[in-house]
A and B are shown apart, each in its own frame.
Chain A
Amino acid sequence: MLTRNIAGVIVFSIVAVFFIFTALLMHPFGVPDESDMDDYIIDNTQEETGANNGVTAVVFDYRGFDTLGEATVLFAAVTGVIVLFRRLKK
Chain B
Amino acid sequence: MIFSIIIAFVVGGLICVVGQLLFDVAKLTPAHTLSLLVVIGSVLDGLGLYEPFIDFAGAGATIPIMSFGNSLTHGALAEAEKHGLIGVLTGMFEVTSSGISAAIVFGVIAALIFKSKGKVS
- Are A and B subunits of one complex? no
